């Protein structure tokens, strides 16, 4: 099956990154969101990220113009998916919202279209089951920042066929990513390890084992992580981490995945990391300043 047209649902942090790499790979992209202001912000981020490449001589102005020309911002869901060969969904991690969206997409998308979710934890099988094409439903998990990170985690739901997996492997390779194939399980492979690791760092902060900056330096230099775990927590979003931790406890029925009280308290305070200006670091000044706990 030949994929030419891709609909990306959601123009946020993940959605605009996915739209960018797809357009750069030559696909015709419709990027859909529910409000024009989200689409405008997503398009502005794509432009800014492409222009970074221009400054470093990795991309030409012609390539930027061609990539931007392949992305169309769309408000109407039906218009976004009606001629798509592949729909990639990157909307908020709210189960009801995902299920309602997939029902509507299934009605409006062509019969041959493959449906892929960029969910970080929600069951692929549960989403596939609300459509009439569970064999064409799959997980396609990108990592933030999408233009930089080299991996797509491909997740097979209960009914996903090998043919669907092959098509998604081809698309992922074409957008410049390596793939791993994971059978469905909460958190798949990456978040199953990442979320408990970040939570352990937060438990250590809560217990006064080290300061935020020392814990980050320890793991950045001691383990060669590009970012320390608390910087990474702020980068991913503390609300997302809390959501995944709670989901793990519910799905695994195992308290080892529980969220630290400090994480829950910070989310309740609206301290959800970089996007809110406050998290383990305070982002209100020129440089992030670590908070004391
Ligand atoms: N968008 C596009 N490009 C970006 C970018 C962004 N948001 N941020 C940085 N870059 C590019 C820079 O232009 C630069 O490109 P170059 O090497 O060609 O010059 C390159 O990335 C390196 O950037 P910097 O020199 O500014 O900074 P760093 O060396 O610190 O790298 C980083 C930044 C790539 C974000 C690096 O710190 C990193 O890899 N951090 C870890 C990120 C990570 O773990 N992501 C996964 C999160 S988990 C997830 O997404 C799953 C979800 O389900 C929770």
**Per-residue pLDDT reduced to its tens digit, 29-70:** 999 999 999 999 999 999 999 999 998 999 999 999 999 999
Answer whether residue 118 shows pLDDT above 90.
yes
Interval 60-86 mean pLDDT? 97
Is 241 close to ligand 1, i.e. is its CB under 6 Å away?
A: no
Residues 240 and 256 in one domain: yes
Residues 149 and 15 in one domain: yes
Among 160, 183, 206, residue at a domain's last position: 183
> How many separate helices (H) and strands (E) can be counted in the chain?
12, 10
Tell me what percent of the residues of the chain surpass a pLDDT of 70: 100
**How many distinct structural domains can be found in the chain?**
2
pTM of the prediction? 0.94
Residues 100 and 170 in one domain: yes
pLDDT of residue 85: 98
Determine the atom of ligand 1 nearest the C-alpha atom of 14: 50
C-alpha–C-alpha distance, residues 264 and 270, integer Å: 10
pLDDT of residue 216: 98
Is 148 close to ligand 1, i.e. is its CB under 6 Å away?
A: yes
Whole domain around residue 264: which residue ranges? 191-290
Assign residue 135 a region (left: φ > 0; alpha: ψ between -120 and 50; beta: otherwise): alpha
**Confidence band (pLDDT; 50, 70, 90) for 114?**
very high
pLDDT of residue 1: 82
> What CATH number does the domain containing 267 carry?
1.10.1040.10
Residues 12 and 108 in one domain: yes
Interval 224-245 mean pLDDT? 96
Residues 216 and 80 in one domain: no
pLDDT of residue 262: 98
Answer whether residue 104 shows pLDDT above 90.
yes
Q: What share of the chain is helix, strand, coil (3-state, %, to 5)?
A: 50, 15, 35
Judging by DSSP bridges, how do beta strands 289-290 and 28-32 pair with one another?
Answer: unpaired
Helix (H, G, I), strand (E, B) or coil at 162: helix
> What CATH number does the domain containing 111 carry?
3.40.50.720
Q: Which residues of 66-108 form beta strands (DSSP E)?
A: 71-74, 86-89
Calculate the dihedral angle through the C-alpha atoms of 23, 26, 28, 32, rounding to the nearest 10 degrees.
Answer: -20
Among 146, 161, 183, residue at a domain's last position: 183
Residues 92 and 11 in one domain: yes
Pocket test for ligand 1, best of 64, 139, 145 (most atoms within 8 A of CB): 145
Query: 293, 286, 229, 227: which is closest to 266 by C-alpha?
Result: 293
Interval 61-87 mean pLDDT? 97
C-alpha–C-alpha distance, residues 142 and 118, integer Å: 6
């Amino acid at each position: 099956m030949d994929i030419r047209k891709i609909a990306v649902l959601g123009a946020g942090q993940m959605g605009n990154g996915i739209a960018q790499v797809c357009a750069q790979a030559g696909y015709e992209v419709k990027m859909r969101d529910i409000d024009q202001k989200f689409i405008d912000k997503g398009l502005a981020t794509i432009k800014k990220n492409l222009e970074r490449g221009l400054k470093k001589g990795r991309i030409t102005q012609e390539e930027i113009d061609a990539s931007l020309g392949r992305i169309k911002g769309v408000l109407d869901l039906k218009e976004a998916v009606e001629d798509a060969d592949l729909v990639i969904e990157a909307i908020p991690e709210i189960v009801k919202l995902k299920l309602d969206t997939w029902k509507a997409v299934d009605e409006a998308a062509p019969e041959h279209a493959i449906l892929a979710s960029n969910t970080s934890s929600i069951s692929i099988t549960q989403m596939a089951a609300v459509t009439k094409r569970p064999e064409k439903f799959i997980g396609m998990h990108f990592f933030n920042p999408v233009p930089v990170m080299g991996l797509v985690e491909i997740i097979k739901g209960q009914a996903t066929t090998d043919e669907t997996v092959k098509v998604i492997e081809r698309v992922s390779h074409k957008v410049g990513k390596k793939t791993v194939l994971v059978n469905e399980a909460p958190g798949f492979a990456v978040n199953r390890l990442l979320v408990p690791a970040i939570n352990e760092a937060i438990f250590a902060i809560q217990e006064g084992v080290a300061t935020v900056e020392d814990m980050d330096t320890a793991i950045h230099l001691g383990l060669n992580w590009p970012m320390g775990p608390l910087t990474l927590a702020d980068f991913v979003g503390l609300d997302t981490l809390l959501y995944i931790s709670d989901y793990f406890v519910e799905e695994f029925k195992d308290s080892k995945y529980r969220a630290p009280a400090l994480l829950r308290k910070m989310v309740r305070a609206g301290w959800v990391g970089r996007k809110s200006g406050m998290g383990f670091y305070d982002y209100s000044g020129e440089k992030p300043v670590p908070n004391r706990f």
